[in-house]
Amino acid sequence: MSGLGLSGLRSLPVIDAARVRLVNCRRGFGKLSQYGDRYAMVLEPLRLGEPLRVEAPADSPDGNPEALALTISLDDFARVAVREGYRAQAIESLAQRALASRTTLPRYLWGLLEEAHFDQARYRRALFERLGYTSPHYVPHPVAAGGDPAVTFLAPGAEGSGSDAVVPVRVRTEMTRILSLSEAWQLKPNASQLEYFAMCLLAEVHNLSLADLTGQVAELGDRLHERLAAERVHERERFLAVLQLDEGRYRARFPAGVRRAARSPE
The DSSP line for 112-139 is HHHHTTT-HHHHHHHHHHHHS---SS-E
Q: What is the dihedral of CA 152, 196, 172, 114, to 10 degrees?
A: -10
The 3-state DSSP class for residue 264 equals coil
For 1-38, the pLDDT digits (tens) are 899 999 989 899 999 999 999 999 999 999 999 999 99
Residue 265 CB neighbour total at 10 angstroms: 20
Res. 259: pLDDT tops 60: no
Q: Give the DSSP H or E segment for 181.
A: helix 181-187
CB burial readout 158-179, b (16+ within 10 A) else e: ebbbbbeebebbbbeeebbebb
Residue 104 to residue 67: CA distance in whole angstroms: 23
Q: Can you tell me the mean pLDDT for 155-175?
A: 97
Domain map (residue ranges) of the chain: 3-253
From residue 209, alpha-carbon distances to 57, 182, 242, 264 in Å are 9, 17, 21, 9
**Which of 133-142, 206-215, 254-263 shows the lowest per-residue confidence on average (mean pLDDT)?**
254-263
Residue 120 CB neighbour total at 10 angstroms: 21
For 100-134, the pLDDT digits (tens) are 999 999 999 999 999 999 999 999 999 999 999 99
In the chain, what's the furthest Cα-to-Cα distance?
A: 55
Residue 91 to residue 81: CA distance in whole angstroms: 8
For 203-253, the pLDDT digits (tens) are 999 999 888 887 656 557 678 888 899 999 999 999 999 999 999 999 999
